[in-house]
Chain A
Amino acid sequence: MKRIMTEYLRPFYRRMAFGVFFKFTGSIMDLFIPYILAYIIDSVIPLNDKNQIYYWGGMMVICAIIGMVFNIVANRMAARVASDATEVIRHDLFSKVMVLSNHQMDAITKPSVISRLTTDTYNVHQMIIRIQRLGVRAPIMLIGGIIVTMTLDPVLAMVLIGIMPIMVVIIILVSKKSIPLFGGFQQAIDGFVRLVREDINGIRVIKALSKTDYEKERFDAINAEVVNREKKARMTVAVIQPAMNVCLNLGLVCVVVVGAYGVNNGTSEVGKILAFMTYFTIILQAVLAISRIFEVWTKATASADRIVRVLDVDDSLEVQVMEEKTKKPFYLEFEDVTFSYNKEEPNLSNISFGLKKGETLGIIGETGSGKSTLLNLLLRLYDADAGTISIDGRNIKSINPRELHKKFGVAFQNDIIFEATINENINLGRNLSDEAIKEAIISAGAKEFVDEKSDKSEEQLTIKGANLSGGQKQRILIARALASRPEILVLDDSSSALDYKTDAAFRKAIKENFEDTTIIIVAQRVSSIRHADHILVLENGMAIGYGKHKHLIKTCEVYREINHSQMGGVL
């Protein structure tokens, strides 16, 4: 919370100060009005001069108008500041999210990131507005009210001041109890959102298994929990308002009684008591507003902390300065690379291989054997625990990530299709020429079905490419990878949904059009990789075979088995 206040609101301090000034003046005007009223009753009426009465009445109207104008200006400035500040906070948070490493994303989890970007920034937005609006007006009214009452009648004012500490104690006690309650509530909301998201994603399975009733029950439980937690938190906070009311109104009674003595002794006047009571209502409203601010504050603090925790995440994958090694024989090289996700059991151990420019590497292996992990390291989505990975003689840790990524064209397994046109999905904001996109569509074997769409490549794709079949999706993804004519092409099992014919045509196209491109293909099918210059066979994170197809057929039993199962075996 502190950070949001100091860092993000700092640029707006001047505007906020202006806002405060306007609000201040506006509020002072509101305070003047009852003062004038008291003056009329105590000093003007006895004069029996109607003109004087009109004069002071006019003054009240003028004060009221100034009050309105200034309040409107101040409110607008507050809204402006809140919107601008929220824009910046959200921007920074989103920018940070976009560069989070996979590791960091895993730790925070995507749903939580999303709710931080949406609900939490929204809470903060509301808080900034409310605080400016009520936060300025209320204390001014409170302090101003007290000061004016002091000048009116110090003795009566003491009564008022005497009540203050009691009210402060009540607010503090209640807040202390309610902050953790709101924290727990926010957490429950996270779980709630997760369930909804999960069920939307799994709707086919849920319906297929006729589990809608079961899911409804599951939802019911978490829904009830959220509601109960919120109820508890809000019940606690609800004590404040009536408690404040009682305190102040009892104070009012004291004022009447004390005032009565004062008038009796000639130290006070009726008009003053009257004005006093008006101020009392103003002060009462101010105190209630402040207690409401506490409520907003409590909620926003929880949210702000969640935002700041993301903002504070370090950029873990720093570019390191390293001495460039002398020219190596290989363009792309893995040297003794070892890596583990949980830093206990290795997911890859001692992997070494080297590729010359334009060569193709096929990687094959069982589910969970470390194929995708290897690609993650190559793309520097994670850093290797030991060993080095180099491209063109440079350790990838010394290459600026941007420069590194420029070299690649990648299609991941089940990669994302955005809700945009086909062209936009392939281009993905890289300002590629139409020509390049067209070529990529052809090379990826997507031309046929793209041309069948009513808007051709301008066809709008729906969420996650729901209006495409699995194979069509993959071809769009491959086209995306090819479109920039990358130095290195990485295909992570991205032809699994293609039929053999399309797959073969695609491989042919690559061979003809992408001679200089170094290619890494992860595949399940031997047919996809058998023509590769090198084939790496992985098992439990270890290389158990490396060489050409023919070589492996002879030397690697696992490979032979895979080959046999695909080319000959039956179910």
Chain B
Amino acid sequence: MRYKWRLLLAIVLTIGSNLLALVGPLLSGYAIDAIELGFGKVNFNQVFYYAFWMVIFYITSAGLTYILEVLMITVSRKVTYAMRKDVFNKLLDLPIGYFDVHQTGDVISRITYDIDTINSSLSNDLIQVSSAVITVLGSFLMMLAISPKLVLIFVFTVPISIVMSKYLVKKTRPLFGRRSRKMGELNGFVEEMVSGQKTLRIYDQEENTINKFNVKNKEAVEAYYNAEYYGSMIFPTINLINNVSLACISVFGSLLYLAGEMTIGQISSFVLYSRKFSGPINEMANIMNDLQSALAAAERVFALLDELPEAEDTEEMAELKTVKGNIILENVRFSYDANQVIIRDLSLQVEAGKLVAIVGPTGAGKTTIINLLMRFYDVESGNIYVDGNEVHELTRDSLRKAFAMVLQDTWIFHGSIYENLTYGKENATMEEVVKAAKAARIHSFIEHLPNGYETILSDAGTPISKGQEQLLTIARAMLMDAKMLILDEATSNVDTRTEKKIQEAMRHLMKNKTCFVIAHRLSTIQNADLILVVDRGDVVERGTHEVLMEKAGMYWQLYQAQFD
């Protein structure tokens, strides 16, 4: 409720414009009474007098309405902005695990479609609700003033409207929830299939996928229809009740006229007011509809906002400053799910500046060690120390900043090559950038592009290969001056010849840094200070290349396999 003053103003404006509009029928009733005198006897002075005031009131009322609209649009856009911001900020604070189990499409659907739904309903409904309340109350009082007897009719019709609306709303609520959910599922499916479109085409799965899509699509439109099915009953039902009350007013109004208790002008004003009175109640039906879908959407958005973020850094946590790069792992145990222990009991001591290589069969938990070091996931038990500090006692930012990393899955974002390269170090000079690019053997490729370093990389694809993307990320890492370096299959997409060419640079990059290298090409790690061979959550062998070769164990087997 950051906008309470504006909202208050909005409500005042609403009251104002609606009160002004309410005066209209009253004036017209007076005018009609002046006309009613009949043939040749119309009191024109009176008519003009009231007509003049009608004009004034209507114009002022419209003016206020417009100001109100502008105000509400501003507020609702501000709210949308703030909500999106909150959701996005939350998203970035969530642990990595969240993204491993939620489809991107569904997340996007929440931040766009769901938030939109909430706000369009907020901005419309808030005005409508407040103006409805005013109009209903105002009309009611006016009618009461004109003829308390006729108002009795509403004693019957209004409760019926309320009961009916309540019943229908209760029925539709779960349907709207389902509608949002199905839409999210469809988006998730589309996202996944479009990403894999090439593969699906090669495997001739167009038809199959389309069939699966048809099922999801059907579910989505059916969910929409079902929500609409009951939703569409609300308006006509309420309308019926209003029309019936109009009929009653006509009949009883006529009877009262006959009994001499009302003038025609009064009946006229009463009818106009009763229309005004029922108008918002009609609208309420629509608003209920809107609110239903908004609530459903809100639930999805809040579900995301309620996700537990990575534990926040606390005051006691220290900044990791002047990193040296001594790392100790002590009895570390970790599993992603309870069934499968990934790391059973790992202890390890790495002095600053040393090169540690982690090898082992695929799926042995090599990447997991990196995840723990960077605190993407937290250990189940055991401790990890950097320069003698338990990692849980360090701020995440300072810990992560102490590492530079190059991963197998490269990440290039929509932006210029320059922006992509300086991502880890924004204040890098062009000279530094070129030097890094040259070292990573990607400079001449970049120079050959029409726009050089300003070339925009996007999905629309300058055809830049996976290997080139990896070279870019290596250059990115080179620009950073972190004390610890993680290379997780950093050159897996780079051919060996290029790899050899960048060896010099890599060596330079690794100099004076504590390095963790995961590699399958054993040639790249032979001079590591320590080689860890991991298998099924345990370190089965450790030592230098020579020691391990002599041992003729698992490492030796892995090594020999290259020459098979």
Contact = CB atoms under 8 A, between A and B. Distances in A.
B424 A571 contact: no
A469 B363 contact: yes
A419 B192 contact: yes
B197 A418 contact: no
Contact of A365 (B183, B191, B495, B558): B495
Nearest to B211: A429
A72 B232 CA distance: 6
Contacts, number: 535
A564 to B, nearest CB: 9
B199 A565 contact: no
Nearest to B36: A270
B562 A75 contact: no
Interface in B478-501: 480, 489, 492-500
- The 10 A-B pairs at the shortest CB distance, nearest first, are namely A471-B362, A367-B467, A64-B243, A75-B232, A500-B561, A60-B247, A57-B251, A429-B208, A416-B196, A466-B100
Nearest to B195: A416
A570 B225 contact: no
Contact of A497 (B214, B459, B492): B492
Given A91-B213, A216-B89, A257 B194 contact: no
Q: How large is the interface on B (under 10, 10 to 19, 20 to 34, 35 or more residues)?
A: 35 or more
B264 A41 contact: yes
Interface stretch (A158-166, A198-206, A352-360, A388-396): A198-206
B343 to A, nearest CB: 13
Given A242-B66, A470-B489, A79 B228 contact: yes
A249 B423 contact: no
Interface in A8-55: 26, 30, 33-34, 36-37, 40-41, 44-45, 48, 50, 53-54
Interface in B409-424: 409, 411, 413-414, 423-424
B455 interface: no
B302 interface: no
B485 to A, nearest CB: 12
A90 to B, nearest CB: 5
B236 A67 contact: yes
B471 to A, nearest CB: 7
B65 A109 contact: no
B405 A193 contact: no
A402 B35 contact: no
A496 B458 CA distance: 25
Contact of A245 (B35, B65, B250): B65
A118 B401 CA distance: 38
A367 B411 contact: no
10 contacts: A44-B254, A90-B213, A200-B108, A205-B411, A205-B423, A253-B51, A256-B50, A367-B493, A429-B205, A472-B363
Interface in B25-41: 28, 31-32, 34-36, 38-41
B104 A94 contact: no
A515 to B, nearest CB: 19
Given A53-B250, A256-B51, A466-B101, 7 more contacts: A79-B225, A83-B222, A122-B113, A196-B91, A246-B59, A428-B203, A498-B362
B108 A562 contact: no
A223 B34 contact: no
Nearest to A568: B523
Given A83-B225, A109-B460, A235 B70 contact: yes
B85 A223 contact: yes
Contact of B246 (A60, A193, A454, A526): A60
Contact of B77 (A84, A100, A227, A507): A227
B187 to A, nearest CB: 5
A516 interface: no
A180 to B, nearest CB: 18
B403 interface: yes
B321 interface: no
Interface in B56-95: 58-59, 61-63, 65-66, 69-70, 73-74, 77-78, 80-81, 84-85, 88-89, 91-93
Interface in B238-274: 239-240, 243-244, 246-248, 250-251, 254-255, 257-258, 264, 267-268, 271-272
Nearest to A480: B203
